[in-house]
């Protein structure tokens, strides 16, 4: 590369000779992951005789992915910054225990809040988020200011928080949880068909705005832009994906008996022949919100810029006046916050807190981030990649379960896929020189 800059500079004006994918300016890694996901979906759909891509299974797959995906977005920051967090599953367990105790014992019994009060869920979640941020910040402080390696701090954290959860609950399962709280778990809280369509329209409008705005800014500064057909094609694919996803989730019908009970509960009689689809679960809304905010942090804020800069060259970041110690605290505080959110989703999905909740999640979360293209050497990683990584892993596991592969064999396959995915990524980076 040393003396190649003349030729590369000179080749800039010859934009005509670019290939189809170069013109689209899409991240080829993203394309690869989407292709891998589609391949998995199609293969399992064939193997299961069409059961894999039913609305019901897509719905289940989606809500099973949320908890790991939320934490994986935080893991991206940690790994990009050249750290690791082995404690996310254990932290999830402790926060889940705290929230379960808050809503079933502390609030109703000690503070006299009536069971079923609309205040219970928000207060329990707030307490959980505070606990997550405090514990995460403490990890960050140990790593950033006391310079104990993240591997050790979070390995210790894994032992500590897994068993603090056990201590808090005396090893008992706590449930059932508050009704409003449980609506964040998946099937017990969805937008319904109309709400989901409205969401799809809002999402589509937002995507179009992003495309339009990015192009307008480039034109305003006189930077080169993609040809119009490329923009239209990419935006079109995005819109089809959004509406297709919502249509699929809307096609998953709520059982008639359950609908009848819902009408009964409101003191009404269900009209003859009434049907309703589940639509988009609240937990998926939460994931979309997390993904959006985390992407904005990564790409559009100083905090995100500093996380990536420090991952790319810690010394350069320090010499640029970036407080890398405080940065470490902030990153682990974010992870703590996200673990708490995942704790909400995970415990709400099963409607109780159990002793083993989140067990081995740390490995799933790290694997999701790494399959999603996050480099363990630091400086490289994307939020959407981590979410796709989580989805790919969950698809593999559910697909194998549907085909009848026993859990231990599933884990063997997932392990092999993880190693293989990273190898593919290494080859890809060598080729592209990233």
Partner 1 sequence: MVDRSGIPLCELRDMQKAFGGIRAVDHVSMDLFPGEVVGVLGHNGAGKSVLMKMLSGAYERDGGQILINGEEADINNPREARKYNIETIYQTLALADNLDASSNLFLGRELVTGLGLVNDPKMEAETRKIMARLNPNFRRYSTPVAGLSGGQRQSVAIARAVYFNAKILIMDEPTAALGVEETAMVAELIHELKKQGIGIFLIDHDIHQVKNLCDRASVMKNGRLVGTVEVDKVTEDDILGMIILGKNPGEIAA
- The residues that touch partner 1, with contacts defined as CB under 8 A, are 1-6, 8-9, 12, 217-218, 220-221, 223, 296, 300-302, 305-306, 308-313, 315-322, 379-380, 433-434
Residue 190 β-bridge partners: 281
Cβ proximity to partner 1, 182 vs 298, nearer residue: 298
Beta carbons of 129 and 157 less than 8 angstroms apart: no
Cβ proximity to partner 1, 104 vs 310, nearer residue: 310
Beta carbons of 153 and 101 less than 8 angstroms apart: no
CB of 313 to partner 1, least distance (A): 5
Helices assigned H by DSSP within 301-360: 302-312, 314-319, 324-350
CB of 8 to partner 1, least distance (A): 7
Cβ proximity to partner 1, 379 vs 389, nearer residue: 379
Nearest Cα residue to 426 out of 383, 370, 363, 365: 370
Cβ proximity to partner 1, 171 vs 227, nearer residue: 227
CB of 107 to partner 1, least distance (A): 36
CB of 5 to partner 1, least distance (A): 4
C-alpha span between 209 and 396 (Å, rounded): 34
CB of 289 to partner 1, least distance (A): 18
CB of 220 to partner 1, least distance (A): 7
Cβ proximity to partner 1, 148 vs 225, nearer residue: 225
Peptide bond just before 176 cis, omega within 30 deg: yes
The 10 Å CB-count burial string (b at 16+, else e) for 251-274 is: bbebeeeeeeeeeeeeeeeeeeee
Q: Is 372 helix (H, G, I), strand (E, B) or coil?
A: coil
Cβ proximity to partner 1, 247 vs 428, nearer residue: 428
Cβ proximity to partner 1, 222 vs 255, nearer residue: 222
Cβ proximity to partner 1, 51 vs 305, nearer residue: 305
Beta carbons of 91 and 161 less than 8 angstroms apart: yes
50 DSSP 8-state letter:
S
Residue 281 β-bridge partners: 190
CB of 306 to partner 1, least distance (A): 8
CB of 275 to partner 1, least distance (A): 44
What lies within 8 Å, CB to CB, of 275 at 6+ separation is 253, 254, 256, 259
What lies within 8 Å, CB to CB, of 229 at 6+ separation is none
């Amino acid at each position: 590369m040393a003396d190649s800059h003349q030729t590369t500079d000179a080749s800039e004006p010859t934009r005509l000779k670019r290939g189809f994918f170069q013109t689209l300016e899409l991240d080829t890694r993203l394309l690869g992951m989407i292709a891998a996901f589609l391949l998995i979906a199609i293969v399992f759909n064939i193997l299961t005789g069409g059961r894999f891509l039913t609305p019901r299974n897509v719905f289940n797959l989606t809500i099973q992915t949320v908890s790991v995906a939320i934490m994986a977005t935080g893991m991206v920051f940690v790994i990009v910054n050249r750290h690791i967090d082995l404690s996310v599953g254990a932290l999830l367990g402790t926060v889940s225990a705290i929230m379960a105790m808050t809503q079933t014992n502390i609030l109703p019994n000690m503070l006299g809040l009536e069971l079923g009060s609309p205040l219970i869920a928000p207060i329990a979640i707030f307490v959980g988020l505070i606990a997550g941020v405090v514990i995460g910040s403490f990890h960050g402080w140990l790593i950033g200011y006391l310079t104990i390696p993240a591997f050790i701090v979070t390995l210790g954290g894994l032992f500590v928080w897994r068993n603090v959860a056990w201590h808090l609950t005396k090893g008992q399962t706590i449930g059932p949880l508050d009704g409003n709280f449980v609506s964040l778990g998946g099937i017990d809280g969805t937008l319904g068909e109309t709400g989901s369509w409205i969401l799809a329209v809002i999402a589509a409008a937002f995507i179009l705005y992003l495309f339009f705005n990015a192009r307008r800014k480039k034109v305003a500064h006189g930077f080169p832009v993609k040809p119009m057909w490329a923009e239209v094609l990419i935006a079109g694919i995005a819109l089809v994906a959004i509406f297709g996803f919502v249509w699929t989730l809307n096609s998953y019908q709520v059982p008639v008996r359950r609908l009848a009970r819902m009408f009964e509960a409101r003191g009404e009689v269900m009209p003859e022949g009434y049907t309703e689809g589940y639509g988009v679960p609240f937990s998926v809304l939460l994931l979309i919100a997390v993904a959006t905010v985390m992407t904005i942090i990564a790409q559009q804020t100083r905090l995100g810029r500093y996380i990536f800069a420090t991952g790319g060259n810690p010394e350069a970041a320090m010499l640029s006046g970036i407080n890398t110690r405080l940065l470490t605290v902030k990153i682990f505080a974010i992870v703590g916050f996200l673990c708490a959110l995942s704790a909400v989703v995970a415990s709400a999905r099963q409607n109780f807190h159990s002793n083993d909740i989140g067990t081995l999640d740390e490995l799933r979360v790290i694997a999701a981030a790494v399959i999603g293209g996050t480099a363990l050497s630091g400086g490289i990683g994307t939020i959407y990649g981590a979410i796709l990584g989580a989805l790919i892993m969950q698809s593999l596991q559910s697909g194998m379960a549907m085909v009848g592969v026993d859990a231990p064999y599933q884990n063997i396959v997932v392990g092999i896929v993880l190693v293989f995915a990273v190898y593919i990524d290494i080859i890809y980076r060598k080729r592209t020189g990233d």
